[in-house]
Amino acid sequence: MRSEITRVSRRSLLAAAGVLAAAPLASDAYAQSNGASPIIANAPQAGVSKRRKLGSLEVSAVGLGVQNMSRTYQMTVPTRTEMHNIIRAAFDHGVTFFDAAEAYGPHEVERILGEGIEGFRDKVAITSKFGWNIDLETGKRLPGLNSKPDHIKLAVEGMLKRLRTDRIDLLYQHRVDPRVPIEDVAGAVGDLMAEGKVLHWGLSEMGLNTLRRAHAERPVTAVQSEYSMLWRGPEESVLATCEELGIGFVPWSPLGVGFLTGAIDEATRFAPGDIRAVETRFSPDNLTNNLALVALVKEWGKRKNATPGQIALAWLMAQKPWIVPISGTTQMAHMLENTGAASIEFSPSEVAELNAAVAAIEVQGQRLPDAVLAYSGVEAAPRS
């Protein structure tokens, strides 16, 4: 019986935009492992017992992003069996929400996830994403985007094989293709739903008008976007729109590419290929200012007997009951740490105090280069 348990790759974005060809993403958790968040005695690591709803899809309060399990930002290839162990241990600790995409690898991360969840597939919800122009057979990244309906259907067939499953619990459009009406995309997804191959669908970093059009055509379960204390863009209008429409929200890069774990200080400089080297929020001119956020999460970590990263994740979950962060990792210890964040609770007065402190820090610098940001907030072509 089918279960009703019921982060886009910046590497993909950079490659697609021609900014940093073939350079993998520095994952939040990998950054933790190199100058990681300090070990806090008795910090929560009990796993995830709480559940949340993205629309009608029920999942664990914290998900696991498997994006970097095929290759880290330092071009190293993690041990495959250890990645499987992390996926299985996450499930053992209550994680029922696993996030992948055809663009991650490309293709290879879906294979790793499919292998890792074998034995408990029907007890978890898995996601994948289409939308980048990727050769269906070879996985070669081609220029631009492709959300043509026929391509979507073929892409999903490949996903199902790699994930070793007969359905995808939540299928996202990774980025909006401005050439294709979102109604046509929704129609293709609807055909897949009618066949039982997709159970829910969502969008990532879309324009708001496109979100409304998509939801009117076929109810959207979740929106995925970057969101953390370091980048709070969704607070401007996306979260309010999701709340209005009853759509869940899934923050990717919830730890700010490792920044909110305390892994970066004023002396930090980034090697070639590290995405943070081209994000001006991490430039020497801006770091000193932005490190006020790190001081804040460290202070609250002491108050709550938690790590800075756990405070950052718990803060996201405190914003709305329908927010489910997906923190990525290639390290077992960091998976346990991240899932432990679900047990941290803030009183209403603590939420108000922490929100005020976060709002008082004006982050300087952009989250991504202009050529990459051009793929976010895009509106789909008008319906023909």
**Residues classed as catalytic:** 104
DSSP for residue 36? P
- Of 12, 16, 21, 26, whose CA–CA distance to 277 is shortest? 26
3-state secondary structure 66-92: CHHHCCCCCCCCCCHHHHHHHHHHHHH
Between CA 345 and CA 308 the distance in angstroms is: 14
**82 C-beta neighbours (distance < 10 Å), count:** 13
Tell me if residue 122 falls in helix, strand or coil. Answer: helix
Give the whole-angstrom CA distance, residue 115 versus residue 98. Answer: 13
Q: What are the φ/ψ torsions at residue 65 (nearest 5 degrees)?
A: -85, 125
What is the rounded end-to-end Cα distance, in angstroms, of the chain?
A: 40
C-alpha angle 180/176/374, rounded to 5°?
120
- Amino acid (one-letter) located at 112: I
Q: What are phi and psi of 68, to 5 degrees?
A: -95, 10
Q: Quick one: CA torsion of 207, 208, 212, 213, rounded to 10 degrees?
A: -30
